[in-house]
Amino acid sequence: MPNIKSSIRSVKTDAERRAKNAAEKSAVRTAAKKVEAQVAEGNKAEAEVTLKKASSLLDKAAQSGVISKNAAARKKSKLAKKVNAAE
């Protein structure tokens, strides 16, 4: 534990930021898994609706700096490709 007052505050804010980022990343991963599960089941219509929500979450995560914009684009593309290939 740091002794300097500003360092103590930094530790606290870093922990808060880390928790927020972890929650946002977890939400993105969960949404992606839902899309993939629906594709595996063969529910293309539901997968398309879930893909929209997942894309929105990815865009928001990229905008807030949790993940890079290229990573968000790559993940959205990967999910869209799976949904489009589904029957």
User: Given this model, what pLDDT does residue 30 score?
Assistant: 97
- Give the structural domain span for 67: 5-85
Nearest-angstrom CA–CA distance, 43 and 4: 56
Nearest-angstrom CA–CA distance, 40 and 34: 10
CATH of the domain at 26: 1.20.58.110
User: Given this model, what pLDDT does residue 70 score?
Assistant: 98
Asked whether 58 and 76 are in contact (CB, 8 A), the reply is yes
Q: pLDDT means per 10 residues in the chain (87 residues)?
A: 95 97 97 96 94 97 97 97 91
| Total domains, the chain | 1
- Tell me whether residue 80 is exposed, middle or buried, using C-beta atoms within 10 angstroms of its C-beta: 0 to 12, 13 to 18, 19 or more: middle
Report the predicted TM-score, pTM, of the whole model to 2 decimal places: 0.87
Nearest-angstrom CA–CA distance, 8 and 67: 26
